[in-house]
Chain A
Amino acid sequence: MIRIRDLSDQELSEHLEEGLDLETGPFVFHIQSKEKSVFNGLRKIYADFPLSNEAVRDFHVRVRRPANLRRWYHPQVVFEHDGEAPFKPLPANHAFASLEWGMNWCIAGYAHHYLTLHAAVLERNGRAVMLPGEPGAGKSTLTAALSLSGWRLLTDETALVDLQTGELWPMARPISLKNTSIDIIQAFSSEAVFSDKALDTHKGTVAHLKPRQETVLRMHEPCRIGWVIFPRWQAESAARLTRRPRADTFVFAAENSFNYSVLGETGFRTLEGVIREAECFDFRYGQLEHALALFESLAA
């Protein structure tokens, strides 16, 4: 098995020019780009990821410069999937972030052999915690801290629920952090490895946190749900779990699914199985250390 880190710079460049088949959990992305920030992101953040030997690729994506005058003035990049550009061009220094967002878009839009929910998922001692949450709730910051504290990251963005077994499958991708969250996690752990920052994106400053090696090595190991926890960071709040009705959790998860409606009855029954199996909580926290201690006790 060849991993990105096994490639020389020249080999990686050549792969990216011809198309690099990157394995991330159950998906294979065929990635083409000549952008330096894509090269750097893959070299640094995806170093542990294997190249796929599969003949079939799930998604063909490309990040390239559009052929216009802005090629020289304020250069831009455009993300393409199967030759189509679903988004407007972005500044060239957002190329790696653009690739990440585009890959997420592919999975959200096409991976209908899973129930896909907008939530982070981590695993400890064989049980998964799912962290849905509205933007700004502190989900990604907590996810990053947990992943650097012994919890196995399955996904920061999209929970993949197996339609047959109800198990949660890893997506094994970097964690996208924004603005002050980047500084918080940098201060939290010396082991945190980040991509170059993309400045002035529509989300502010964005950087991607490299997943730990365990996440990549176990990218084909699903696990069963243990908890659904809705985190909310609140300054000076004590770390506190309060039980949340399963019915309410169900409706929130359904409304924040990418394809629940597409799947119809299958989506309903799959989500029912997940919620029935999980303990559901709201979670307030003010300090990461207190949050981690509480999660530690939960998983013990």
Chain B
Amino acid sequence: MATIEPVMPGPQEMWRIAPEGSLLTAEFDGQTVIYHTGAGHTHWISAVAAEVLNRLGEGPQNETSLYTALSELVSAENLPLLADSLHQTLEDLKHLALIEPA
């Protein structure tokens, strides 16, 4: 029997912070630890993930607008890496149930 892979929302799909519980953060030497009160899980997340959660904390956004916001924080030589990194980060955060499609 064929299995159906879940489809990742495209760049225009909106993302939001998962509504269950809240996210607490602690930053140490530029690195971020996050605690999801809904699940009771703790994660050490990347700088990109921390910034994504920070932006989504202000309200739902799509991948394109997140890319635009984050690109202002990234040096020119790292810009080519940002798109892939952002896409992967969104997948990871969704997998951790920290964000979901809005």
Residues of A within 8 A of B (CB): 245-248, 250-251, 254-255, 260-261, 264-265, 268-269, 272, 275-276
Contact = CB atoms under 8 A, between A and B. Distances in A.
Interface string B7-31: 0000000000000000010101101
Nearest to B34: A268
A contacts with B: majority SS: helix
B contacts with A: majority SS: strand
A268 B32 CA distance: 13
B21 to A, nearest CB: 9
Given A245-B28, A265-B35, 15 more contacts: A247-B29, A247-B31, A247-B33, A248-B44, A250-B28, A250-B42, A251-B42, A251-B44, A254-B42, A260-B42, A264-B37, A265-B37, A268-B35, A272-B26, A276-B28
A251 B28 contact: no
Interface of B: 24, 26, 28-29, 31-33, 35, 37, 40, 42-44
Contacts of B24: 265, 268-269
- Interface pairs A-B: 8 shortest CB-CB: A246-B28, A247-B31, A268-B35, A272-B26, A254-B42, A247-B44, A261-B40, A251-B44
Contacts of A272: 26, 33
Nearest to A273: B26
A30 to B, nearest CB: 33
Nearest to B42: A254
20 contacts: A245-B29, A245-B31, A247-B28, A247-B32, A247-B33, A250-B28, A251-B33, A251-B44, A260-B42, A261-B40, A264-B37, A265-B24, A265-B35, A265-B37, A268-B24, A268-B26, A268-B35, A272-B26, A272-B33, A275-B26
A250 B43 CA distance: 10
Contacts of B35: 265, 268
A268 B33 CA distance: 10
